Amino acid sequence: MRVFIVKDYEELSVQAAQIVAGQIYVKPNSVLGLATGSTPLLMYHHLIRIYKEYGLDFSEVTTFNLDEYVGLPEADKNSYHYYMNDNFFRHVNLDQKKIHLPDGMAASVDAECLAYEKAIQNCGGIDLQVLGIGQNGHIGFNEPDEKFEAYTHEVKLKQDTIEANARFFADISEVPTRAISMGIKTIMQAKKVVLLANGSNKAEAVYRAVCEGITPEIPASILQLHQDVIVIIEEGAAQYL
């Protein structure tokens, strides 16, 4: 793991955007693994800026998002489809056909998980995976567990995750209780990983993921075994390091 502590959210976001931009510059047909949540928002903003100011070309890029809620249609403002379209996709020249998110409305969630995993493999795997981290150490929606779940799967969300994500919904009762998420192996097979952590509410999860033992109780801790991980941590999130 290469760990960088940066002074604020802006610096974290610029650094992350530059890593993504560099990846696309070197390999225009890169396969990107993308994350949602509040952490990568400003990174997307800077990627859009780089696209507009420097003509970064997304036309050959393929994207796979980490996860999606089960039961939210694409048009729902809280779906990750909506988030990605609103905050990133519609602002750059990505090819719609090369954009992938799990379908949270699929008739069979199991079949959707299998198909999603296969689609990633068919594209040759992920070149660069961007990750945030949950307060409980989750990555994607891989919640703390007794074992690491390997491939794309259906997740029952933990109460603390539901509470953490309730801020985006009118009422906590509206937060979906299930999601589809890439698995730990799916993420670990990415050639390069960038993990972003912002805010003091992430400090404990960051400490446990980076400094303590590898355990499925802190899913992000598995990244210690990955050969090419950059961790960018804003000072507040790095306070226990």
Query: Interface residues for ligand GLP in 155-194 (CB under 6 A)?
Result: 161, 165
Catalytic-residue membership of 87: no
Phi and psi torsions of 116, nearest 5°: -65, -45
Given candidates 102, 140, 183, 219, which one binds ligand GLP under the rule CB under 6 A?
Answer: 140
Nearest to 40 by CA among 122, 126, 105, 131: 131
Nearest to 106 by CA among 131, 138, 81: 81
In the set 103, 127, 136, 165, the catalytic residue is: 136
Given candidates 44, 83, 116, 141, which one binds ligand GLP under the rule CB under 6 A?
Answer: 141
Which CB sits closer to ligand GLP, 56 or 141? 141
Catalytic-residue membership of 143: yes
39 near ligand GLP, rule: CB under 6 A:
yes
CA distances (Å), origin 119, targets 35, 48, 104, 141, 182: 17, 26, 16, 19, 12
Number of residues that bind ligand GLP (CB under 6 A): 14
Query: Interface residues for ligand GLP in 95-134 (CB under 6 A)?
Result: 132-134
How many other C-beta atoms lie within 10 A of the C-beta of residue 18?
A: 15
In the set 143, 165, 198, 234, the catalytic residue is: 143
Whether 189 contacts 124, CB under 8 Å: no
CA dihedral 89, 19, 126, 119 (to 10 degrees): 0
Which CB sits closer to ligand GLP, 79 or 165? 165
Residues acting as catalytic residues: 67, 136, 138, 143
Instruction: Report the interface residues with ligand GLP, using CB under 6 A.
Output: 35-39, 66-67, 132-134, 140-141, 161, 165
